[in-house]
Amino acid sequence: MKKYYYLLFLFLFIPLISFAQNWQKTKISSWDFEISIPENYQKVIDNDACVLIGKSDKTKFQVIVKKNQVNEANVLINESMAGFVDENSDKILNNQNIKVDNYPAKELKLTTSKGKNVVMRIIIAKNKTFMLIVSATQIDEEDMKTFFNSFSVE
């Protein structure tokens, strides 16, 4: 009987281990931020932008950082949203002003016309716009919290 429980335990537990996501704390000093992102992420950095893209199962995590050309936080947030949201086909579920590290920010939740769920945080800090984006058909809330809560401006 013990052998049966042991096999049942292995059958239930081992798949969880094999799909567990390893997160990597990443500091990009030249762009003034730190964040945890799934390991084996892609990184592109040049003079105009910094982009990190990581994946966990079927969830995509992105960090996009750009230098600001204007100083008005609300203008920058609205311009950033307009670049990612198609108001004609995307359904906005939530759109709220928040603070991240005491900087002005906005959190936006939407469903795209292709059935993807997207949660985006746009933060204005240190003459930069930081966009944190999580997208998937079904977003894992814990992974999303890990990603968003690990972000800090240096």
pTM assigned to the model = 0.80
Domain-located, residue 15:
no
How many separate helices (H) and strands (E) can be counted in the chain? 3, 10
Question: What CATH number is associated with residue 127?
Answer: 3.40.1000.10
Domain-located, residue 8:
no
Q: CA torsion, points 95, 76, 144, 118, in degrees to nearest 10?
A: 60
Domain-located, residue 149:
yes
Domain count of the fold of the chain: 1
Tens-digit pLDDT string for the chain (154 aa): 444 333 333 344 444 443 456 899 999 999 999 999 998 899 999 888 999 999 988 899 999 999 987 666 666 666 666 666 777 777 888 889 999 999 999 999 999 888 899 999 999 999 899 999 999 999 999 999 999 999 999 8
Domain range for 134: 22-153
* β-bridge mates for residue 12, sequence order: none
Domain-located, residue 11:
no
